[in-house]
């Protein structure tokens, strides 16, 4: 018994030692200056560990479940509006092949569900709904797109959502352009396959093998393109093409692999069909919807980490800035904004500042909000917003920036004045602030900006 207990203790120690080595390898290794062949695998491990961590925290699965519910409510209205638009092109019958392709992993049950959905869509007469009915139909569709935008904004750490005018414009564009793109894609594919020259070339090797390979590769590329398009345009922030394409590629691979695995599961689930009877098809449909939304959100998460690798530098994402770090960051942000202002360069956005400083954008946003609340900078009406001086930096002193950082967030029951302390403490803190003002000797932000980095940014 003692021997078995000692063996368990040794095994646990080995696991702890292995975990410590992996932690040092993944999170504590300094990849700065390493060649790409060494830094790449470390960053890939960090990204995989970060994705697993995000899934374990439950936020991505919760958003996926929420989107499943909204999809069930909005699917028929969405297809009804798309049906009406495609009917204008005379290709409304292409909706059924598209649904069959999306539900292909469900097998025969996917065919049954597709027929049911098409029946529902045929029964929705958009022309006889009236203005109120059409408004409710449109609102149901908009609610789905709004939920998708909120999910993507959460993944991308974006707090500001689109305005109602922007939502109406962007969502209407998707509803009008989306069906037209589907028509174009399906039409091009059908035209190519119907050409006699393609049939003749298929009989010639190796052209036949290449054509068959292209027939399998083109649908995959279309899925990757669709995912990349969503990652690039749905989040209310600037998404780099590299990040969108990387997320789309990984999500496309996951979609195909999980589709193959889910199809195998459905084929081998005859006992579940026998147990659930007619409910089996809707259950499998909801499971596949959940898997699809989860894949889409994981791809968005990967795109976010590709564009913001600073979030992969540490395992503890909730660590807040120290007061000393906040002061340094506040002075740095103010200096960068001043340099662009005096050099007549485009103003900085949160993402641009985050990438310039190679730190997380939530920390940058937090300090910018403090400076904006103090009336030192102001956000423009652009989307995403950029930042300009709220007052002439010729009269804004460095001490004002530091004071805004120290005093930012005060108020309520825990404000500075409501904390009861001995008079000696108030005197010490007052002497500290007085000494700081004297040490800075009235230096302004403009002086700091024009002399920082040897005068870089001076006009």
Within a domain: residue 166? yes
Asked if residues 376 and 334 have their Cβ atoms less than 8 Å apart, the reply is yes
| pLDDT value of residue 456 | 43
Same domain, 220 and 119: yes
**pLDDT confidence tier of residue 63, bands split at 50, 70 and 90:** very high
**pLDDT confidence tier of residue 251, bands split at 50, 70 and 90:** very high
End-to-end CA distance of the chain: give it in Å, rounded: 80
Same domain, 154 and 227: yes
| pLDDT value of residue 458 | 39
Structure tokens, 391: 């007052």
Residues forming beta bridges with residue 388, ordered by sequence position: 378
| pLDDT value of residue 457 | 41
Domain termination site, one of 312, 336, 365:
312
Kindly give the pairing relationship between strand 386-389 and strand 377-379. Answer: antiparallel
Write out pLDDT tens, residues 338-377. 999 999 999 999 888 988 888 888 889 889 999 998 899 9
Q: How many CA atoms lie within 13 A of 439 on its CB side?
A: 8
Contacts of residue 263, Cβ cutoff 8 Å, sequence gap at least 6? 104, 105, 106, 107
Is a pLDDT exceeding 80 seen at residue 201? no
Is a pLDDT exceeding 70 seen at residue 192? no
Within a domain: residue 73? yes
Is a pLDDT exceeding 80 seen at residue 87? no
Closest CA to 392 of 351, 329, 349, 447: 447
Asked if residues 235 and 153 have their Cβ atoms less than 8 Å apart, the reply is yes
312-324 mean pLDDT: 69
Asked if residues 444 and 398 have their Cβ atoms less than 8 Å apart, the reply is yes
Q: Which of 96-105, 121-130, 381-390 has the lowest mean pLDDT?
A: 121-130
**pLDDT confidence tier of residue 84, bands split at 50, 70 and 90:** low
Q: Which residue has the higher pLDDT, 411 or 442?
A: 442
| pLDDT value of residue 332 | 94
Q: Which of 35-49, 199-213, 421-435 has the lowest mean pLDDT?
A: 199-213
Residue 109's alpha-carbon distances to 23, 270, 284, in angstroms, are: 45, 12, 8
Residue 184's alpha-carbon distances to 91, 92, 98, 187, in angstroms, are: 10, 12, 13, 5
Per the prediction, the chain carries an average pLDDT of: 77
Same domain, 270 and 136: yes
Same domain, 408 and 269: no
Report for 141-150, 198-207, 297-306: range of highest mean pLDDT? 297-306
Asked if residues 389 and 374 have their Cβ atoms less than 8 Å apart, the reply is no
Same domain, 184 and 306: yes
∠ at Cα 158 (152, 160), nearest 5°?
A: 110
Within a domain: residue 8? no
Write out pLDDT tens, residues 259-295. 888 888 777 766 666 666 667 778 888 888 999 999 9
Cα 136 from Cα 202, distance rounded (Å): 50
**pLDDT confidence tier of residue 143, bands split at 50, 70 and 90:** confident
Structure tokens, 92: 């409304």
| pLDDT value of residue 390 | 92
Asked if residues 64 and 80 have their Cβ atoms less than 8 Å apart, the reply is no
Is a pLDDT exceeding 90 seen at residue 297? yes
| pLDDT value of residue 376 | 92
**Residues constituting the chain:** 459
Cα 241 from Cα 249, distance rounded (Å): 12
Work out the burial of residue 59: count CB atoms within 10 Å of its CB; fewer than 13 is exposed, 13-18 middle, 19 or more buried. middle
Cα 50 from Cα 311, distance rounded (Å): 9
71: containing domain: 59-312
Is a pLDDT exceeding 70 seen at residue 34? no
Is a pLDDT exceeding 70 seen at residue 195? no
Q: Which residue has the higher pLDDT, 76 or 290?
A: 290
- Listing DSSP states for 14-75 in one string gives HHHHHHHHHHIIIII---TT--HHHHHHHHHHHHHHHHHHHHHHTHHHHHHHHHHHHHHHHH
Is a pLDDT exceeding 50 seen at residue 455? no
Same domain, 405 and 372: yes
Within a domain: residue 64? yes
Within a domain: residue 148? yes
Report for 67-76, 192-201, 395-404: range of highest mean pLDDT? 395-404
Report for 37-41, 74-78, 351-355: range of highest mean pLDDT? 351-355
Domain termination site, one of 279, 312, 345:
312
122-131 mean pLDDT: 60
- Listing DSSP states for 376-414 in one string gives SEEE-SSSS-EEEESS-TTT-BHHHHHHHHHHTT--GGG
Is a pLDDT exceeding 90 seen at residue 336? yes
Domain termination site, one of 293, 312, 331:
312
Same domain, 383 and 429: yes
DSSP 3-state of 65: helix
Ramachandran region, residue 240 (left: φ > 0; alpha: ψ -120 to 50; beta: rest): beta
Same domain, 258 and 297: yes
Within a domain: residue 36? no
∠ at Cα 336 (352, 342), nearest 5°?
A: 115
* Total count of domains within the chain: 2
Within a domain: residue 303? yes
Same domain, 216 and 109: yes
73-77 mean pLDDT: 78
Is a pLDDT exceeding 90 seen at residue 329? yes
Work out the burial of residue 98: count CB atoms within 10 Å of its CB; fewer than 13 is exposed, 13-18 middle, 19 or more buried. middle
Percent of the chain with pLDDT over 70: 68
Residue 228's alpha-carbon distances to 44, 216, 249, 269, 359, in angstroms, are: 20, 19, 8, 33, 25
- Listing DSSP states for 304-350 in one string gives HHHH-GGGGS-S-TTPPPPHHHHHHHHHHHHHHHHHHHHTTPPPEEH
Same domain, 214 and 183: yes
Structural element, H or E, at residue 418: none
Closest CA to 68 of 348, 380, 307, 292: 292
Within a domain: residue 119? yes
Asked if residues 182 and 98 have their Cβ atoms less than 8 Å apart, the reply is yes
Quick count: other Cβ atoms within 10 Å of Cβ 259? 20
Asked if residues 418 and 301 have their Cβ atoms less than 8 Å apart, the reply is no
Asked if residues 255 and 223 have their Cβ atoms less than 8 Å apart, the reply is yes
| pLDDT value of residue 388 | 93
| pLDDT value of residue 301 | 94
Is a pLDDT exceeding 60 seen at residue 20? no
Same domain, 227 and 270: yes
Same domain, 183 and 271: yes
Structure tokens, 25: 């390898």
* Bond prior to 384 in cis (omega within 30° of 0): yes
The CATH code of the domain that includes 377 is: 1.10.10.10
Asked if residues 226 and 296 have their Cβ atoms less than 8 Å apart, the reply is no
């Amino acid at each position: 018994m003692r021997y078995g207990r000692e063996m368990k203790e040794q095994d646990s120690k080995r696991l702890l030692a292995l975990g410590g080595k992996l932690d040092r390898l993944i999170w504590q290794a300094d990849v700065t200056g390493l060649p790409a062949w060494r830094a790449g695998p470390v960053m890939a491990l960090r990204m995989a560990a970060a994705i697993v961590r995000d899934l374990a925290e439950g936020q991505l699965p919760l958003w996926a479940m929420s989107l499943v519910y909204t999809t069930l409510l909005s699917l028929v209205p969405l297809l009804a509006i798309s049906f009406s638009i495609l009917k204008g092109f005379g290709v409304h019958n292409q909706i059924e092949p598209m649904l069959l392709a999306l539900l292909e992993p469900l097998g025969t049950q996917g065919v049954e569900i597709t027929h049911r959905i098409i029946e529902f869509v045929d029964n929705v007469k958009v022309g006889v709904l009236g203005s109120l009915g059409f408004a409710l139909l449109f609102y149901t569709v908009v609610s789905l797109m709004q939920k998708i935008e909120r999910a993507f904004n959460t993944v991308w750490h974006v707090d500001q959502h689109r305005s109602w005018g922007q939502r109406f414009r962007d969502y209407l564009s998707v509803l009008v352009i989306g069906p037209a793109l589907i028509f174009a894609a399906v039409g091009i594919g059908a035209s190519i396959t119907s050409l006699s020259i393609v049939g003749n070339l298929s009989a010639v090797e190796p052209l036949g093998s290449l054509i068959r390979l292209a027939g399998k590769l083109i649908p995959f590329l279309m899925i990757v393109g669709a995912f990349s398009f969503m990652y690039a345009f749905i989040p209310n922030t600037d998404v780099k093409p590299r990040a969108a394409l990387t997320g789309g590629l990984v999500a496309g691979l996951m979609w195909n692999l999980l589709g193959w695995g889910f199809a195998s599961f459905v084929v081998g689930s005859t006992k579940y069909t026998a147990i659930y009877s007619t409910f089996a098809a809707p259950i499998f449909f909801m499971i596949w919807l959940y898997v699809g939304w989860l894949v889409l959100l994981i791809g968005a998460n990967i795109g976010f980490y590709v564009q913001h690798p600073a979030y992969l530098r540490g395992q503890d994402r909730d660590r807040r800035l120290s007061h000393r770090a906040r002061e340094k960051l506040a002075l740095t942000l103010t200096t960068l904004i001043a340099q662009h202002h005096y050099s007549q360069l485009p103003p900085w956005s949160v993402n641009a500042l985050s990438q310039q400083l190679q730190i997380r954008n939530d920390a940058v946003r937090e300090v910018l909000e403090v400076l904006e609340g103090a009336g030192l900078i102001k956000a423009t009406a652009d989307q995403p917003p950029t930042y300009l001086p709220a007052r002439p930096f010729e009269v804004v002193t460095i001490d004002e920036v530091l004071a805004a950082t120290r005093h930012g967030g005060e108020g309520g029951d825990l404000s500075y004045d409501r904390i009861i302390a001995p008079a000696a403490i108030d005197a010490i803190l007052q002497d500290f602030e007085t000494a700081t003002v004297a040490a800075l000797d009235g230096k302004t932000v403009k002086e700091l900006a024009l002399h920082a980095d040897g005068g870089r940014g001076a006009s």
